[in-house]
Every structure is written in structure tokens, then in C-alpha cells.
Amino acid sequence: MSEKTNGQFNYRAFVSVLSGLTFAAMAATGLVMFFAPSCRIARDTSWTVWGYGKEQWTAVHVWFSIVFVIASAFHIYMNWAVLVNYFKTKLHQGFALRTEWIAALAICGVIGLGTIYDVAPFSSLVAWKDTFKHSEGGTGAGGQGWRGGRAALQQGQSYFASPASSTAGVGMGQKTLRQFCTDEGIELSSAISRLQSQGFTVRQTTTMREIADSAGVHPSKLRSLLQTR
């Protein structure tokens, strides 16, 4: 796969441009999926963006991700000698590269572990996303909640709904475990421990319906379990 010049097809340029375009497409589709409602709400409201539903956006995102990974692998392969020489040169200059690698790895580690173990501020973004996607009652500063969006969609409109400003009017199933415990005056850590001891898959940002669905029970069973002293 040597680089071609003099008007011939340039594989290096092709791979670089392909990597950039697929990355941009992957970022755009990922943003749409981030704000997309849950599968149930998307199905019930016939949710679309630019005429395409959640399943279509997911499929497009997956394929762009696959092509991006392949293009990136070829990009590294075609520039391997340059990368190796760069690392060797920097290593001979001292500890600058080592410090840079440690800093980069530390940032990635903090992000990964913070997200896995639901630590703020990483948990705040996930909680906000879940509130945005699952809220049905109330109105946000910029527009209607999902219930208003559902009525509009039935009239042929399709748009992003703004998140509810509170959990007032939100059904139990659409509340996250954190929201439910706050509303019911239940200690969150105790609720998580109790549910996990019963075999439920639990995160404080998971909705009550998602927790119930994971075990094949009705959300009302969770209420009974958590409110039992």
C-alpha cells in the first residue's frame, strides 16, 4: 500500500480523509443517539430525526464506527515508521513523552472508572441524559416534555423534546432510582443494596421501569420492596 503520486490514487490521503469523515459522522450520529428517548418511548411516539427512527440511527452509527476503526488501523499501519521514529526520538530527549503518556492514561482511567462506578461529575451527565430521555410530565424552559412531544408527533411533527424541569407528574416507571428515592424519602445507598440483594441490576441513574424489566417484574413490585421496612 505505498503512497502514489503524480495524479495516481493516493492511498495515504484516502485513508486520512476516510478516517476524518467517518469520525465526524460517528460523532454526529452518537449525539443523536445520546438525546434519543428510550426504545419504548421512541416506538410509542414514532420518534424520528430528519425522518429516520432510532433503529436506523443506531445502525448508521454502528457502521460508521466499524469503518472508522478499520480506517484508523490502516492509518496507523501506513504511518507506523513515522510514529516509531517519533517515539524513539522523544524518548532519547528525556522524560517529556513519558509524562505525556502518564497524563493521557490517567485522564482516560479517571473517565473510565468514574463512569463505571457512577462517580460525580460523570454520573451527573448520565443522570441528566436519563432524565431528559425518560421524563414525560411538565415542560422545560425550551419547550414541551415527552408527553407534549407525543401529541405533536401524532399530528405529523417530529422534533427533540426538552427535558422536564422537575419530576412532578412523571410516572414511577420513568423516574430514575435516584429520583424515586428522593421523592419517597428513601436512602439511595440502602435502596441500591436492597435491590442488588434481590438480584436486580441497579444503577442510580437507571429508570425504575428498566430495573423492573431486567428482572421481568412490574415496577410496582420495586415500590413495595423499597418501602417495606
Per-residue pLDDT at 107: 93
- The confidence score (pLDDT) of residue 161 equals 39
Distant-in-sequence, close-in-space partners of 227: CB < 8 Å, separation ≥ 6: 184, 186
Q: What mean pLDDT is predicted for residues 137-162?
A: 39
Residue closest to 40 by CA, chosen among 30, 50, 61, 55: 55
The answer to whether 175 touches 208, Cβ cutoff 8 Å, is yes
Percent pLDDT > 70 in the chain is: 72
pTM, full prediction: 0.53
Distance from C-alpha of 54 to C-alpha of 64, rounded to nearest angstrom: 15
Lowest mean pLDDT among 82-91, 109-118, 216-225: 82-91
Considering 40-44, 140-144, 205-209, the range whose residues carry the highest mean pLDDT is: 205-209
| pLDDT confidence tier of residue 201, bands split at 50, 70 and 90 | confident
Which triple of cell numbers denotes residue 192?
Answer: 441500591
91 Cα distance to chain centroid = 37
Q: Given this model, what pLDDT does residue 29 score?
A: 93
What are the sequence ranges of the domains in the chain?
A: 1-92
Do residues 220 and 227 make contact, with C-beta atoms less than 8 angstroms apart?
A: no
Residue 143's pLDDT band, with cuts at 50, 70 and 90, is: very low
Q: In whole angstroms, what is the distance from residue 30 CA to residue 27 CA?
A: 5
pLDDT at 14: 93
How far is residue 183's CA from residue 130's CA, in Å, rounded to a whole number?
A: 17
